């Protein structure tokens, strides 16, 4: 992958793939959902990846974890929207759900890694 910084993080890469999948899915919604559910779902998924990128730039573990916490909230919001889409018959969302689960797992691991590094620095 070209570039550097946050783009090198696997957690960001998967979250970015999720955003693209959500955009593809929401583009198939009925026209009346364009500015309703589609917009909300797109915004919540973008927030996942954007807050991971923001966390990457922060120096203190506390700041990093704060942005990752926002990302986790957006992830759960997106999870609900995908559930609602399924219940409303707006697509199966299989790819999106798989990417969401992978993003969730990687986000949790990234948070744990930051906590461990912060703990080992405090012990010094």
CATH (domain of 46): 1.20.1440.60
DSSP state letters, 63-87: HHHHHHHHHHHHHHHHHHHHHHHHH
In contact, 6 and 52? CB cutoff 8 Å:
yes
**pLDDT, tens only, 44-71:** 999 999 999 999 999 999 999 999 999 9
pLDDT of amino acid 34: 84
Closest CA relative to residue 64, chosen from 116, 14, 1, 124: 116
The confidence band for 3, taking pLDDT boundaries of 50, 70 and 90, is low
* Range 15-40 average pLDDT: 94
In contact, 61 and 115? CB cutoff 8 Å:
yes
SS3 call for 116? helix
Residues for the chain: how many in total? 124
**Would you say the pTM of this structure is higher than 0.85?**
yes
How many domains does the structure of the chain reveal? 1
Its domain, for residue 32, covers 5-122
């Amino acid at each position: 992958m070209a570039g550097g910084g946050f783009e090198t993080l696997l957690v960001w890469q998967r979250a970015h793939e999720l955003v693209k999948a959500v955009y593809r899915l929401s583009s198939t919604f009925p026209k009346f959902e364009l500015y309703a559910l589609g917009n909300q779902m797109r915004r919540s998924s973008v927030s996942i990846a954007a807050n991971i990128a923001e966390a990457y730039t922060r120096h203190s573990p506390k700041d990093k974890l704060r942005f990752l916490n926002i990302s986790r909230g957006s992830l759960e919001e997106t999870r609900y929207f995908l559930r609602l889409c399924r219940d409303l018959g707006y697509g199966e969302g299989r790819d999106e759900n798989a990417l969401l689960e992978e993003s969730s797992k990687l986000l949790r691991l990234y948070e744990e890694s930051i906590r461990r590094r912060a703990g080992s620095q405090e012990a010094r």
